[in-house]
Structure 1
Amino acid sequence: MEALLRVTETVKSFRETRLSALRPVSEFFDHHRISKPADLNTATSRISYNTRYFSGNYGVIVGVLAVYALLTNWLLIISLGFLIGGFAAINKFAPEPLQVGDQVITQKTLYTGLFVVGIPLLWWSSPLGTFFWLVGASSFLILGHASLMEPGIESEYATVQEAV
């Protein structure tokens, strides 16, 4: 029950911090503000401003791409489920050594068996390829959008600090 409360608190704090930074879709896809940057300095300043301004939207893009990457790699889902489920089952059902005939099966033995099967299965499912695809696709989309989108008029006032 306590774990459920922690999960709900985590989701609530995530919603308050990250999702509050979401900008409207009409602002994120405003085709009137799209233009080619004049030079590298302009592109760099746009990327710097837009990655902060649209950080919530970019987080959603990374999340959607991560879900897509998992859904298109079923073997990765199966291997992660096997490893995570194996850890949970061993912790829940085998906290004490188990006597089977003349053999004593301990948690260490069960974890070794889980790793002997799970690690090659995980390696075969190419998690590094999926990770690097996710990094590349996210970088391409985010940097492309951030460099092409002109900052709004509010960016001119972003450097002005309030007088106390």
Structure 2
Amino acid sequence: MEYVARVPETLKSFRETRLSTLRPTSEFFDHHRLSRPSDMNQAVSRISYNTRYFSGNYGLVVAILAVYALITNPLLLISLGFLFFGFIAINRFAVDPLQVGDQVVTQKSLYIGLFVIGIPLLWWSSPLGTFFWLVGASLFLVLSHACLIEPGVESEYGAVEEGGV
């Protein structure tokens, strides 16, 4: 139960750290700043700057893609829910051994049953394919956006400040 007590402070720290780095959508989707980099050095420079500058937005893009991947793979969602809620149910309701007829059902046997059903169901729902799709789609979207968006004027001033002027 101590985990439940930490949830509000965890959400507050998440909001302060991650959500504070979100840039406005007008800046993130500014089509006036789109241009093709002239060479590889400029592309790497843009990727380096934009991944730091838009890190909150990119995290949100990856989270949206992850939710999309779960929604479009309902068997994966069902198998993850089965395992997650199975663990919760066993920990909450089956702490003591239970007598069913001549058999004694222990917490260990319930976990074995959960794994015997849940692991093949999870394997059949192809979590690795979904994971690699998520990695590939995220990399493609984040790197192409970071490469094509020109850094703003503030990046010029950041280089001057770092130079010790």
Structure 1 and Structure 2 fold alike (TM over 0.5): yes
Q: Which amino acid aligns with 1:109?
A: S
Percent pairwise identity: 74
Q: Secondary structure at the match of 1:63?
A: helix
Q: How does 1:114-133 map to 2 (within 5 A)?
A: 114-133=114-133
Q: Secondary structure at the match of 2:42?
A: helix
Aligned-partner Cα distance in 2 for 1:4–1:94 = 20
Aligned-partner Cα distance in 2 for 1:72–1:97 = 39
Runs (5+) with no aligned partner, structure 1: none
Aligned position for 1:44? 44
- TM-score, with structure 2 as normaliser: 0.93
Aligned-partner Cα distance in 2 for 1:107–1:153 = 61
Q: Which amino acid aligns with 2:43?
A: A
Aligned-partner Cα distance in 1 for 2:15–2:38 = 37
- Which contiguous aligned blocks of 4+ residues in structure 1 show a shift greater than 3 angstroms? 1-5
Instruction: Give a deviation string over 1:64-92, Cα, whole Å, max 9, x none.
Output: 11111111111111101110111111111
Aligned position for 2:12? 12
Q: Does residue 73 in structure 1 map to residue 80 in structure 2?
A: no
Aligned position for 1:161? 162
How many residues of Structure 1 are paired with residues of Structure 2 in the alignment? Answer: 163
Aligned position for 1:90? 90
Aligned-partner Cα distance in 1 for 2:155–2:50 = 9
Q: Secondary structure at the match of 2:99?
A: strand
- Shift in Å, 1:5: 3.6
- TM-score, with structure 1 as normaliser: 0.93
Aligned position for 1:113? 113
